[in-house]
A and B are shown apart, each in its own frame.
Chain A
Amino acid sequence: MPEEVEVTIVTVRDIFQDEAAKKSRFSQEYEKLSALIVLDKQDMARLAVKDGQKLLVKNDAGSVIVAVKTSADEAHPGLAFMNNSPWSNQLVADSVGESSIPGFKSIKAKLARTEETANVTPITELFSRMKG
């Protein structure tokens, strides 16, 4: 079993998460739909994780702990999806090219299993990191 799996994360929109964001960015519902990564079943197998387990997602920009879910799409190993949110933005590099647009939809990151008792990174922690 590999300790880490490398993926490219593409951020997407989700109507349920959008609705939750409009109600409150500080709600459990918003956290549940944002602190989430969707993986291909091959990547799930490589990491030996099941739906709902937590993963550490990290790169040079930052790191977050999020829950994992198996993709219902056709096979896409190496490609992961996250709903656009402050959690995915922890992983977006600051540097930009000529167009000054960050790589929101092409985030290279490494995934690793966490302790079974680990919780997803709460929004309060994301805020503390910012102000810290």
Chain B
Amino acid sequence: MATCTGCSLLCEDIEATVKDGGLSHVKNLCRKGHGHFQAVFTERTVPSVDGQKVDLEKAILAAAEILKNAKNPLLYGWSNSTLEAQAAGIRLAEKIGATIDDTSSFCQGLLMERIIAGTIPTCTLDDVRNFADTSIFWGSDPSNSHPRHLSRFSYYPRGDKRQRSYEEERTCIAVDVRKSATAQLCSNYYFLVQPGGDAEFMEAIISVLDGKIPKVADKKKMIELGTLLKKTEYGVIFPGLGMVYSMQDRMDLFERLMARLNEITTFRAIPMVGHYNMRGFNELLKEKTGFINRVSFKGGAAAHGSESSVLSAAKSCDAALVIGSDPLSSLPFGTARLLSKKPMIAIDPRRSLTTDAAKVVIPSALSGMEAGGTAVRMDGVKIRFEPIIESKMPTDEEILTRIMEAI
């Protein structure tokens, strides 16, 4: 069986048939995973310096030269790299006194920090499949973002204690600013919130759990929700970016809601992480430095702060190494514009706006397909995978090691 690295569910039941050294048939992929596997065949990068094709060694030496001369380098990306590559990246950051940050910095970081620190209780997706009777998709839409979430874990499967599953035993609830594909599935348990209204909705839930009248328009529906939550045996909240972006500095309120729910019954939270190994990077960096992201090794010791976030560092750095990420597509235009003008090294198997703008491009093997390694699923479970097909492309880890040796 192969593992799909198309999202942080890391589906391990992919049946891949290899013929004449290449992929011929793949089964069990979702639509997103299908696109991910197509990446083997499309938009592959070649080693280049200043837009000119060069051999790999020359590209690696050019990358080392840029980093050696930089006074304030940024190493960014990491969420689509294996733990082995991430560890090499942290070592590189320490060696050259760089700032290191990953996509969690403007994604699920605010929540993941609390999950890893243990201030918000969590569980595994296997626990969800076996025990959960209530799943709350809050600002998340797995039907689009994590297509096999519902079928493998949170709604349809017949788990150990949930043999009657979605027909009788499981309820799904959606809290969202729109009736997403997942919210449509939740039918009567779809709760519409206004953009930025998630904190108010949380306060209303806490009110009904405390037996008070909630300050919302539809009091009856909110009281029904409170009753459902109280009757839940094992509930899990799956917060998406909709909730995280809405809460931002008020995440303590979510902690309070989780604490209140756990006074009554069992409730856990699993952030809907997008990239396949974002959590891996967060756990690894935390283990090494005490912080999950936004770390600077300038001056030797690890320092943490918003000035080390990619949003700030993209502006202040004098060179950047970007690995397995496309910040020129995903950052606000103004920040992307500033970053695009810096000497950039892009390590990526595939072409992107970032590789098009980079001074040095180093192609790498696609993790899960052409390269093996280890990653951490959204729920913290470590998954080891082997390559399906042989590739002459070096892995991210090999490239980083060679750059480090050349500095």
Interface residues of A (CB under 8 A from B): 8, 10, 12-16, 18-26, 61-62, 73-74, 76, 79, 81, 84-86, 89-94, 96-106, 123, 126-127, 129-131
Contacts and interface: CB of A to CB of B under 8 A. Distances in A.
Contacts of A97: 248-249
Contacts of B286: none
5 contacts: A15-B31, A26-B43, A79-B178, A105-B242, A129-B333
Contacts of B144: 12-15, 18
Contact of A12 (B178, B192, B331, B335): B178
Nearest to B308: A100
A65 to B, nearest CB: 15
A130 B337 contact: yes
B179 A102 contact: no
Contact of B39 (A22, A26, A79, A105): A22
B330 interface: yes
Nearest to B39: A22
B265 interface: no
B180 A61 contact: no
B186 to A, nearest CB: 14
B38 interface: yes
A76 B196 CA distance: 15
Given A22-B6, A127-B357, A89 B332 contact: yes
Given A22-B38, A89-B330, A13 B141 contact: yes
A99 B248 contact: yes
Given A79-B177, A99-B110, A105-B195, A130 B328 contact: yes
A82 to B, nearest CB: 12
B246 A89 contact: no
Contacts of A100: 105-106, 294, 306, 309, 311-312
B340 to A, nearest CB: 5
B334 interface: yes
Given A12-B180, A22-B35, A24-B42, A102 B332 contact: yes
Contacts of A76: 178
Contacts of B242: 10, 105
Given A12-B178, A18-B32, 20 more contacts: A14-B144, A15-B31, A18-B144, A22-B35, A23-B39, A24-B43, A25-B43, A25-B353, A61-B334, A79-B177, A79-B178, A84-B330, A86-B329, A86-B353, A91-B333, A93-B332, A101-B110, A101-B248, A104-B245, A123-B353
Given A12-B141, A15-B147, A131-B340, A101 B245 contact: yes
A105 B241 contact: yes
A14 B178 CA distance: 13
Q: Which 10 A/B pairs are nearest by Cβ-Cβ distance?
A: A22-B35, A19-B35, A94-B334, A92-B332, A99-B248, A15-B144, A100-B309, A100-B306, A13-B145, A130-B340
Contact of A25 (B32, B246, B326): B326
B3 interface: no
B-side binding surface: helix, strand, loop or mixed?
helix
Interface string B92-108: 00000000000001100
Contact of A61 (B192, B195, B332): B332
Contacts of B334: 61, 93-94
A28 to B, nearest CB: 14
A90 B333 contact: yes
B277 interface: no
B334 to A, nearest CB: 4
A86 B309 CA distance: 20
B351 interface: yes
Q: B38, B42, B145, B353 — which one has the most chain A CB atoms within 10 A of its CB?
A: B353
A19 B31 contact: yes
Interface string B148-190: 0000000000000000000000000000011110000000000
Contacts of B357: 127, 130-131
Nearest to B332: A92
Contacts of B329: 25, 85-86, 89
Interface string B247-284: 01100000000000000000000000000000000000
A105 B306 CA distance: 20
Interface string B136-147: 000001011101
B36 A92 contact: no
B231 interface: no
A12 B145 CA distance: 9
B134 interface: no
Contacts of B39: 22-23
B35 A21 contact: yes
Contacts of B180: 12
A131 to B, nearest CB: 6
A81 B145 CA distance: 16
